[in-house]
Structure 1
């Protein structure tokens, strides 16, 4: 899927090549236990009118971020993993996913195993049904829709580029 992904710009094309190299080198790349890094799946959940984006205040990093997480053995596709994570973390039924990624990112972090690693994050656009009301789960300190033109404090340029990529992929 990623080899054929039409990267929207040269920077994203370079990130795609890093993903492909990592996948070729690591048969366990989708497993959380892969200490050098692992593939994750994120969801940019937009309101039905695409004027708001659903963000979670992540308890571990203390920042507002998109929904998403690790792949599970039962996930058949990355889009399926992103949809599962978005449904679990938002409590919203009836989410609709575009199976073509909108953005790729690699970021360092210390994972739940307590080791430094990297997330090779594949990000998808998901549309919530009209009137959707999120329900905070144990995976979030807060969860709410934010206007796409009035994002929370601390949102950096990369975060804004992700939201713009999801909005541009309509």
Structure 2
């Protein structure tokens, strides 16, 4: 709960979303499991280059969209560790460092797919920085990976709204 309270204090315009996350966290012990049908926690990585100028994006195989790396908590309440694990697994990069504080939160609907009913993802995003090589390996979950200059994401047509919001946050943070 403390992470969400601190996030709301840093981003008062998102306090209502942080309240939704806190209520969901308190709603059931199974919120970190995919089997929690109404929704579950996921974690994403705002995976930036060592110089902080570029972001590694995945052309997601199932969603056919360019997004940040990330995935399901699969029972782990340590969402920073989940974001780091997903970044490593989906990029093949090593020598990654994850920041402890939340960078962004996003609640989004996942439509029904096959036998899986529609449900909510409560996605918690962390800054993950590449500190070694930036030579990635495309995993089975991606059609492609690409390092993109962060400022380009703001004006690029078709950029996911939450990616645009995170790019704004990142650039504002760099100025501060």
Q: Secondary structure at the match of 1:106?
A: strand
1:12 positional shift: 1.8
Residues in 2 aligned to 1:158 and 1:79: alpha-carbon distance in whole angstroms? 18
Residue 160 in 1 paired to residue 164 in 2?
yes
Deviates more, 1:39-48 or 1:108-117: 108-117
Deviates more, 1:153-162 or 1:32-41: 153-162
- Contact 1:109–1:117, Cα closer than 8 Å, also in 2: yes
Q: After TM superposition, what 4+ stretches of structure 1 lie above 6 angstroms from structure 2?
A: none
Residues in 1 aligned to 2:160 and 2:74: alpha-carbon distance in whole angstroms? 29
- Of 54, 57, 75 in structure 1, the residue corresponding to residue 56 of structure 2 is 54
1:169 positional shift: 4.7
Q: How does 1:143-154 map to 2 (within 5 A)?
A: 143-151=145-153, 153-154=157-158
Would the alpha carbon gap of residues 44 and 25 (structure 1) be closer, same or farther in structure 2, given more than 3 Å must change? same
- Provide Cα deviations, 1:31-65, integer angstroms capped at 9, x if missing partner: 11111010110000000111100000011111100
CA-atom RMSD in angstroms: 1.9
Partner residue in 1 for 2:124: 122
Q: How does 1:20-59 map to 2 (within 5 A)?
A: 20-59=22-61
- Provide Cα deviations, 1:55-77, integer angstroms capped at 9, x if missing partner: 0001111110000010134x451
Task: Give the structure with the higher percent helix.
Answer: 2
1:153 positional shift: 4.2
Q: Compute the TM-score of the two structures, normalised by the length of structure 1.
A: 0.90
Q: Secondary structure at the match of 2:134?
A: coil
Q: Compute the TM-score of the two structures, normalised by the length of structure 2.
A: 0.87
Residues in 2 aligned to 1:167 and 1:28: alpha-carbon distance in whole angstroms? 36
Q: Secondary structure at the match of 1:142?
A: strand
Unaligned runs of 5+ in 2: none
Residues in 2 aligned to 1:168 and 1:45: alpha-carbon distance in whole angstroms? 17
Partner residue in 2 for 1:83: 84
Would the alpha carbon gap of residues 166 and 82 (structure 1) be closer, same or farther in structure 2, given more than 3 Å must change? farther
- Provide Cα deviations, 1:135-161, integer angstroms capped at 9, x if missing partner: 100010000100112236410443211
